[in-house]
């Protein structure tokens, strides 16, 4: 089973790498007075990583809240 998971993970990373090499067009990001020229793949990867970190933070916060609500009080 682990070899199957490793195979699919390897295929996933190969597809991501291929997409990064294929999408090398540049885009201009403008924030207030700053202009940043960066490749499309970097914007996509950065958005994915920020979304993943945000999701982990929200899930962790909800799990802590759920534990606090459901655990019995020690009196």
For 30, residues 6+ apart whose C-beta sits below 8 A from its C-beta are 36
For the chain, percent helix, then strand, then coil, each to nearest 5?
Answer: 70, 15, 15
pLDDT tens digits, 5-61 = 999 999 998 998 898 888 889 999 898 999 999 998 888 889 999 999 999 988 888
Phi-psi region of 32 (alpha: psi -120 to 50; beta: other; left: phi over 0): left
Separation of alpha carbons 48 and 56, rounded Å: 12
pTM of structure: 0.64
Question: Band of the pLDDT at 68, cuts 50, 70, 90?
Answer: confident
Dihedral pair phi/psi, residue 24, rounded to 5°: -100, 15
Residue 55: predicted pLDDT? 93
């Amino acid at each position: 089973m682990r070899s199957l998971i490793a195979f699919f993970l390897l295929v996933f990373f190969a597809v991501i790498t291929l997409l990064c090499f294929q999408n090398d067009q540049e885009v201009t990001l403008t924030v207030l007075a700053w202009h940043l020229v960066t490749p499309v793949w970097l914007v996509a990867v950065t958005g994915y990583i920020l979304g993943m970190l945000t999701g982990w933070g929200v899930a962790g916060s909800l799990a802590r809240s759920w534990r606090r609500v459901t655990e019995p009080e020690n009196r």
